[in-house]
Every structure is written in C-alpha cells, then in structure tokens.
Structure 1
Amino acid sequence: MTTAAAPTTPRTRSTALDWVRGVALVLVVLSHMWALWSIEALAGVPPLLHLLQSGNIAVTVFLVVAGFLLTRSLIGRDGTRADDEGRVGTIAAERPALAVLSRVVRISSQTWPLLLLVWFTTLAEGAGEVVETQTERSVLWVTTFGWNVYLQTEALLARADLGHLWYTAVYVQVTLVLVVLVRGLRHRRVVLALTLGGLLLACTAWRAHVADVEALTTALLRTTTRMDGMLWGALAAVCWPWLRPVRSVAGTVVSYALTLFAALVLLLGNSGAYLGWGGVAANLAVVAVVVAAPGLPPEGRLSRALGWRPLVVLGRYSLAVYVWHYPIFFGVGQRLPTWPAPAKAALALALLAAAVVLTVRYVERPVEAWVQRRLGARPADREELAALPLVPEPALSPAGAAAGPATAPSAPSRP
C-alpha cells in the first residue's frame, strides 16, 4: 500500500520562474536607460557599463523560460503528463493550434494598444508623410510578427522606438516551430530530445558563423541566432524526468548558476561574445536555475531569495513592462532633452507604471477572459504553470512504487 506525499508548498514552483524573469526585466530596463541619459561617463568602469548594456543576456532568460513553459504545456498536464519511459502526452495532438493562439492573443493585447497610441500620436502631431509611412509599415510588420525580418533589411525605414519588439516576432516564430516539432514527435521522447539537441548544435555553430560575417546589430535580429534560448528551454522540459539528480543537489546548482549569470552580465555587456561562448553559458545558467529550483527546501535561504516579492511581481508583469518601457523612455528622452536625467527617469517610470496597470487591467485580462470563455482555454502562462510538476517528486513506498501525486497547487493569479 502506498502513501500519498504530503501537499507541498507552491512557493518554489511558481515564484522561481517569475523571479528570474523579474531579474531579466530589470536588466532590460537598465539597458535602455541610455534613452534618458548618457552612459559615456561610465566608460572607465567596465563592470557597471556592461551591467547597463546587458539586454541581450537578459532576453536569454525570457527565451529559455518561454521554451520551457511552452514545451511542458505541450507534452502533458494533469492525467496526460508524459511518463518516464518516453511517451509524450496527448495535449499537443489534441489542440496544438491553441498553444499558438493563446500566445498571439496575449502578446497582441499589449502590443496593439501601444501601436494604436503610436499611430494616433503620429497623426495628431502632423509629423509628415515620410514619418506616417514609416509608422504604417512598422505597425504592419509588428502586428504580423515579421518585425525582426523587416529590421534586418529596412532598419532606416523602421520606427526606432519599436525596435525592442523584435522579441515578440522571434517568440511567435519559434513557438510555431516548437509546436510542430513536439506534435510530430509526441510519442518519442528520446527522439524529440535528440532532435532538439541537434538543432541546438546547428544553431550554436550558425550563431558563431554569423557573428564573424555580419554586423552585430543585424546578426542579433535573425530568428536563427536568437532561437537558441527557446530550444534550450524546450530541451530541459523534454529531459525533465531524467534530471532528478540535479534537483537533489539544488542548492549547489542554483548558487553556481546564479553566480555564473551575474559574472556574464558584468563581463560581457553588449559584447559579440553573446553569439559565441557567452550565449551558451548564459543559456546553461538559466536552464540550471529552472531545472534545479524546484528541489530547493521551501523554507531555505535560497527559496526565500527566489521568492522576493518585488522581483516576483515584476516577473509576472514582465510582458507589459517589456512592451511599454522602451517607447516611453524614447519618447520622454526625445521630447524633454533639457530636463535633468533624474526628472526624466522619474517621469518615464511613472508613465510606465500607469501604462502597465491600465493595459493589464482593462485590456490583457478582459481579452484573456474572453478567449477563455470562447475557446475553453486558460491564459498561456497560467496553463503552462499548471502543467509543471515543479514540486518535489512524490516519495516512494517501501515497495518501490511511486506514491500518489502531490496536490497540484493553483497557478499564480498573474504570470
């Protein structure tokens, strides 16, 4: 007779991923502060200069977590969770298009209000035919998720204040690839893992090649050079049952991974090494945290650190903050060039907070609720978190049989 494991706290399960996204968001925001003040004076302090130019490494966090969550939601949840022998669940076969649609809807619920504001502001200011045409084309390519491709070839004709939205295009494009891949290999976990590993090797070699033959700004806009993070996250999700030994030494793994990531931030900054060894190291550090964090003792020091509420809250609102921060910084910097830097920063952050609260409350959540009612689907990240067995595995009975599953904690109110 087996004994069910005692219910475990959901703290590590839901907050660790939000915490790492919160850290990444802080780094992204700092990397765009140049729009409000000059950072040339920091040239003599390399670590601080790298810290304020670490946006590429920070975005790696978003991509790894996104690939991990997407793949975990596709390979099973509840009764269809993939087993350790290699069979992948049936969710990807049943409703694969829903995985893409839910993400497109969530991203659009933030980007469309921004694009409408940009468009109407351009018309109201009477900026001229050239700027209006530039805005029209930029809006079109952002809404169709081809923005990163457009920036590679028509950078001079694109709106600079929307440049950061390359991420949304790459995210949706790679989501399509992963959904098709997992659906096609849903019954063969080993083959799926080997396929993802092969793609990662090819992608890593390609990144190094592109870094040698192209300008860094162009190389960083390619889908094929930025998809490695989501592939790493997907591979971690597929290999999840085989990574239990990592979670048994979670404290050591998480400590070393966070130390490595911090070192990369302070040493690389906006360096081209991101497309080489630096990017590989950053991906591995994030994967290590994602995989090992569930093994941390719930009341341990590291668990409490990864549950620090300010960063967890930022992580839950990371999409909205990411979408709105750069256009606001850019607009304030352009329109108020004579203001002192602290005053510009204070105004920009206040406007950002207002934009996030308003769009999340009055656009994003109502749209997700409508999708849920119409399609019977939960919001993307909530479904993903519900799919994660990110609590310690059930204990084994003396006979060696697995105990009943631990009670699945509810998903956070806002991923």
Structure 2
Amino acid sequence: MATFFSPIKVGNVHLEHRVVLAPLTRFRATRSEHVPVVPLVKEYYEQRGSVPGTLLVSEATFIAPEAGGYSYVPGIWSSDQIKAWKKITDGVHAKRSYIFLQLWALGRTATASVLTEEGNYPLVAPSPISLSGSPSDAPAPRALSIAQIDRYVGFYVQAAKNAIEAGFDGVEIHGANGYLIDQFLQDVSNTRTDEYGGNIENRSRFGLRVVDEVVKAIGAEKTAIRLSPWGRFQDMKMHDPIPQFSHFVSSLVESHPKLAFVHLVEPPPIAERTDVKHLSKIPEESNDFIRKIWAPRPLVTTGGYTREDALKVVADNKGALVGFGRHFISNPDVPFRLEHNLPLTPVDRSTIYTPSDKKGTEKGYIDYPFSEEFLKERNSNSKAHSVPEERHVVESAVLVGLVGLIGFQALSWWRGSR
C-alpha cells in the first residue's frame, strides 16, 4: 500500500513523495508585458521546491495575449517570458525538484477592458453567455468561430512548446474552474449547435483536441490536465456532470493512457471550507467516478485537505497525489512538515494577490519561514555531503605527494646511475 511519503513516477519524473504544489495565481508578473518578475518569482518557486523530489505546478499562465484578460499574470508567448521562466525552472531543478507550467485561456471570464487595453482583443467564449454579476456596460462574449477555435488550439500547442524551451518538465492544461475549456465542456456555458456543442461528444471536442495536439507536440508524459466537474465558481456546474466528464476522461484513457496525470478539484464543501473533517458531506458529489476510470494512473486531487484526509486518500487510491495551495503558500517546506506532523503556519490572505509593482509585494510571498526542524536536517545533510568532497581533496593531495616522491626517487636513481 502506498503512503503519502512514498515515491511515485509521474510522466518522465520520479517524485520522492505525493505532496504537490497546486497552481496559485499570485500576480507577481509585470502588469502588461506579463513577464515573471525575477529574482522574486524565482525565489518563490525555489523555496517551494526545497524538499527534493517535489512536483510544483506553476501559477496559471496565459497562452497568448488575446487568451488573457488580467493584469500582472505571466505569459508564455514572448522571448522575455521564456527567458524569465528558464531562470525559474533552473532554480527549481537545482533544488532537485520538478515543475509543470499550467496553460490558461480565460474565455468569458476575462476583463474586457484589459483585453481592449492590451490589444483591442474581443471577449470570447463558446457561446454569447455573460457571467452573472458582470458590469452593465460590459460586452457580452462573442461565440468563437471554427477558425478562431483552430487558432486557440494552436495557441495551446505553441505555449506547450515554449514551456519545454523554458525548461519545464511538462504542462498542465487548465480545464477547470469555469475557464475556456471548462466553458466548452459544460452545457451551462455551451449552447452551440455545431460540432463543438449540443451533446456530450461535441462539448468534449475542443478540450480533447487541445490535449491531442499538445501531446503530439511535446509527448503524453509531459502533458496533464486539470478538471473540476462539481465546481460552481463562475456560474459553472451542469445539472449532472458525471456523463460529460466520464466521457471526457474515458477518451483520455483510450487516446493517451500515458498522460502524466489528471488533476481534479474536489467538490464542495471540501473546496470551500477550511474546517472539513471528511472528504465530502454530499455523497452524490464525488470524483470517485473519475478515479475509477483513470486508475491506477497518477491522479492529483486538490481541495482544502487536512493531513489526515491526505493520508487517507493516498492510502485508499493507487496513484494518488494531493495538491496543497494555501498551506504551500505559508509553509514552503510543507512536504517535510506533513511528513513529520509539524504545525502549519496560517496564511495571510491579505498578501496573496499583492501585485508585483506595489510596495511590499515580497510580504506573504517569499518571507514565510521554514521550520527549524527542516533547516536543521538540511544543514545536517549539507555537512554530510561535504565530507566526501573534503576527503577527496585530501586524498588527491596525498596522491600528488606520493607521485612527487616517487618521481624524486627515480630522478635520484637516474642521476646516481650515470
């Protein structure tokens, strides 16, 4: 039986434990160029990769300018962005950990004024259905044409290629939480009557095309996808998501059985409460139907887990990993703390989204402390690793001395024999 702290192979990488950094938007990129701010962001990810063998999933990252619509969020289309990300991935790998880039397209959830400001881009979606609570003067989203859908598939492919160029170990396609792929999947946001809507197979088509083409570009072992069948965020949750998402994940099993992992957002209340003692108090809302389809392949599950719940889900499900968000923000060594059952530092919610150009952006980002126990163990390991190197230097010096002595004796003999 697997434990929370046992190794697992995910795609092409070998992890030392089952604790995953869940993707977390933090607004620490430049406002409109969407370049991660280095060295700030580099230090943030290095800290969270400090326990060797940890899998990090990056913050959601725009695949193209017109797929965005928020300020201070990173992108992966420009050379400056790729160069900045390469410094970050190098830093994570120096810690002997791994990182996937989450690929993001907003669809109807974008801020129309930001799209206009950054390139006069339209607000788009599968269907012209606005989010509830949108400003009265906000435009309704335009339904994407077939040609535009093809263009977006191309954005995902190029973004995946750029991610590999930037040193990422793989990509996670964001298909959750009411963003573009999720908008296509669910009938509450997709009322199309062409090949991209109207029934389960057609609503799955866009997301499956994206996965197919990304896999062709970078390989299945470097590709993952995140889904949220039960999520209500941003006007989502169809009446019965089980048939829709069963078809989608079954199609992944059939076409891409070696996909790195599937990442699930757990249903309410676990995703909306911090005091949850059980995985779900609503029996009919469970991701177990996907677990049965995807098992025994790697599956990351995220949503307000306690240590006890995380231990149980890994023990009960082969291939399970658990993503942590808030706990990973305020505990950069959270895998170590969970393993040793150490107290967790609470997160300061007021600092989660401090933009990169605001005073104090470092606060609540790179200033959370490591546990004393982790620092002691890390220092102890550093000293242990330094001993062989010092011994090697001494042994080399002795060897040089012996060679010199032998050479001197040989020279003396040669001179004496003349």
Say yes or no: TM over 0.5: no
More strand by share: 2
More helix by share: 1
TM-score, length-scaled by structure 1: 0.31
Q: Considering Cα pairs closer than 8 Å and 6+ residues apart, tell me whether 1 or 2 has the greater RCO.
A: 1
TM-score, length-scaled by structure 2: 0.31
